Amino acid sequence: MTDLTLGQSPVHAALDFFDDQHPPAGDFLRDVLTGLAATPKSIPPVYFYDAAGSALFDQITGLPEYYVTRTELALLDRIGPELADLAGPGAVVIEPGSGSSVKIRKLLDALDSPAGYVGLDISGEHLIAACEELARDYPDLHTGAICADFTTGLSLDHLPLPQGRRILFFPGSTIGNFEPDAARDVLAGFRQGMRAGDAILIGADRVKSPATLEAAYDDAQGVTAAFNLNLVDRINAELKGTLDPSQLKHVSVWNADKSRIEMHLEALEPQKFEVGGQAFSLARGERIHTENSHKFTPESFQTLARSAGFDVLRSWSDPAELFSLHWLEPNAKA
């Protein structure tokens, strides 16, 4: 293993390298204070993903209402041979927001002799466990992990990566969690870290009936509600918060104007609380906006990709047109 860690480094024997870029933990307090002081109140979704949040997200991916994961997995199965042709042999796959590194197995199995895999996630413990498991299952693959914030771009030059064309794999419609300008910036940030000939395979959830969408983000078993409320547990545990989660309700709503599902925490009763020593209050019915999940049409996705400097070379959808995967390549630099 190559130890690239800047601070203390645990030993992750199954990995070829672990690069801890120490995504700044202190920003959690700053962002929560800023969001709670705003009108309407909001908290950025990146803070969902501590170890408990990542585990809850994994449960969400298996729920009957959450069509996203199973649809994308089936699509990957179907288009595997085309992906192998597009990528060519010996590709190095880099996955920003890799989570449990489940979908990557479909891609790795489809590709022709992939040379390497790098998972990148902000949720460090979960990332390492997932990448170590992958490294054990694919012993011939050069496998590494980066704990970093992908919104700050991709810093890959110092890593001991094999030669080969780099394919960024960005599934799950994680891009939909960003407002349109921020989504463009995330993709443009990826583009900066790419070389000529590299490509992105990206998942984008599609616009569909509000009932299907709202159910997908408010399941009958209450797992998505627990995922949303885990944010409150994190704030209370890590930021000296005194929010009462039993007086907050999970809400998912389709915002047609902005083409997105929104998740909120709505106050059942008025409450006064503190975070990091600062006082806040919620009126009955007031909401804290915790997540956006933008949905795309083929046209709106193409507009986004182009605005970030990419050409959409190919797009695929499932027969019910619930979800799409797109193959992007950087267009000629201006």
Q: Which residues bind ligand SAM (CB under 6 A)?
A: 46, 49, 54, 57, 61, 69, 97-99, 103, 121-123, 149-151, 171-172, 174
Residue with smaller CB distance to ligand SAM, 49 or 67: 49
- Nearest distance from residue 74's CB to ligand SAM, in Å? 14
Quote the DSSP letter at residue 319.
T
Residue with smaller CB distance to ligand SAM, 46 or 267: 46
Residue with smaller CB distance to ligand SAM, 71 or 174: 174
Contact 29, 276 (CB under 8 A): yes
- Nearest distance from residue 270's CB to ligand SAM, in Å? 32
- Nearest distance from residue 196's CB to ligand SAM, in Å? 25
- Residue number of the CB atom closest to ligand SAM: 172
Tokens encoding 94: 């880099």
d(CA 280, CA 276): 11
- Nearest distance from residue 127's CB to ligand SAM, in Å? 8
CA angle 90, 311, 305 (to 5 degrees): 110
- Nearest distance from residue 280's CB to ligand SAM, in Å? 25
Tokens encoding 113: 């002799």
Residue with smaller CB distance to ligand SAM, 5 or 151: 151
Compute CA distances 203 → 56, 178, 187, 255, whole Å. 21, 14, 13, 21
d(CA 241, CA 36): 12
- Nearest distance from residue 295's CB to ligand SAM, in Å? 14
Compute CA distances 160 → 17, 19, 75, whole Å. 8, 10, 32
**Nearest to 76, CA basis, from 104, 113, 95:** 104
- Nearest distance from residue 115's CB to ligand SAM, in Å? 21
- Nearest distance from residue 225's CB to ligand SAM, in Å? 17
Residue with smaller CB distance to ligand SAM, 97 or 114: 97
Query: Side chain identity at 298, as an amino acid letter?
Result: P
Compute CA distances 259 → 108, 161, 175, 256, 304, whole Å. 32, 38, 14, 5, 14
Residue with smaller CB distance to ligand SAM, 151 or 303: 151
260-285 burial string, b = 16+ CB within 10 Å, else e?
bbbbbbebeeebebebeeeebebeee
Residue with smaller CB distance to ligand SAM, 229 or 282: 229
Residue with smaller CB distance to ligand SAM, 102 or 271: 102
192-226 burial string, b = 16+ CB within 10 Å, else e?
ebbeeebbbbbbbbbbbeeeebebbbbbeeebbbb
